[in-house]
Amino acid sequence: MSEIVQAKGICRAFGQGNARRLAVDGVSLRIDAGEFVTVVGPSGSGKSTLLGVLGALDRGFEGELLLFGRNVREMSDGALARLRGDRIGFVFQAFHLLDHMTVLENVTVPFLFTRKVMSKQDVMVVLERVGLGDRAGDKAGGLSGGQRQRVAIARAMVLRPSLLLCDEPTGNLDAVTAAHVIDIFGSMHREDGVTVLCATHDERMGRVATRSVVMVGGRVGSGVDGVEVQQG
């Protein structure tokens, strides 16, 4: 099974001197193609910071990180941007939509940063899959929280990524909407073969995952009964 993520001894600190704090402290983690991995742990445990590093959004880390077999430290900013655009999708708790643009326009924003091409009909297929085909022309600012998250998922799906990184994707959603979103992620994993890495508080996400790791105090370690733990 091919490795998508190979992280060794990852540390990420913020602040200087006595105020320096390790948000991620010596984490080693391997994720193979076809896995659905959840990272669980309390608020402030470093889950979001770790995802930022593993998604090559944050280069201020110590340690070694290989993505799709390539050493992130040896890649230029442009090469990393192309790698993210071509192979990685991101879904965030805060949605990060452009409210003045339509749903369709928001979903097609990733095409500004990649050489991939997709027809409007293909984009509409993605919107239909997340249940928003009839809202393509609506402004994103007028949607509910659940609809906005589904737009964000469609935006991540549209380039057919190999790796999907999700940071608390159900954190701002009610229970029913969250369940729908989790079903979408499960479908992407099962039917499309997308590798998923998700930081979450939602125990239901773990039910569709193939593996979970626990993060506490910036470290990967034990602490949750019944959850598989991958030590560095």
Query: Is residue 213 one of the residues assigned to a domain?
Result: yes
Q: Above 50 in pLDDT, residue 229?
A: no
Query: Is residue 9 one of the residues assigned to a domain?
Result: no
Query: Is residue 197 one of the residues assigned to a domain?
Result: yes
Q: What is the CATH number of the domain that holds 201?
A: 3.40.50.300
Give the Cα separation of 37 and 195 in Å (integer).
8
Which pLDDT score, from 0 to 100, does residue 232 have?
34
Which pLDDT score, from 0 to 100, does residue 14 have?
94
Burial annotation 83-121 (CB, 10 A radius, 16+ → b, else e): bbbbbbbbbbbebebeeeebbbebbbebeeeeeeebeee
Q: What is the average per-residue pLDDT within 130-151?
A: 94
Query: Is residue 101 one of the residues assigned to a domain?
Result: yes
Q: Above 60 in pLDDT, residue 133?
A: yes
Q: Above 90 in pLDDT, residue 152?
A: yes
Query: Is residue 158 one of the residues assigned to a domain?
Result: yes
* Count of structural domains, the chain: 1
Q: What is the average per-residue pLDDT within 188-211?
A: 92
CB atoms within 10 A of CB 33: 15
Q: What is the average per-residue pLDDT within 184-198?
A: 93
Query: Is residue 14 one of the residues assigned to a domain?
Result: no
Query: Is residue 42 one of the residues assigned to a domain?
Result: yes
Are residues 159 and 90 in contact, defined by beta-carbon separation less than 8 angstroms?
A: no
Q: Above 70 in pLDDT, residue 222?
A: no
Which pLDDT score, from 0 to 100, does residue 13 have?
95
Which pLDDT score, from 0 to 100, does residue 1 have?
57
Range of the domain at 209: 33-59+77-220
The string of pLDDT tens digits covering residues 22-69 is 999 999 999 999 999 999 998 889 999 999 999 999 999 999 999 999
Give the Cα separation of 20 and 127 in Å (integer).
44
Query: Is residue 200 one of the residues assigned to a domain?
Result: yes
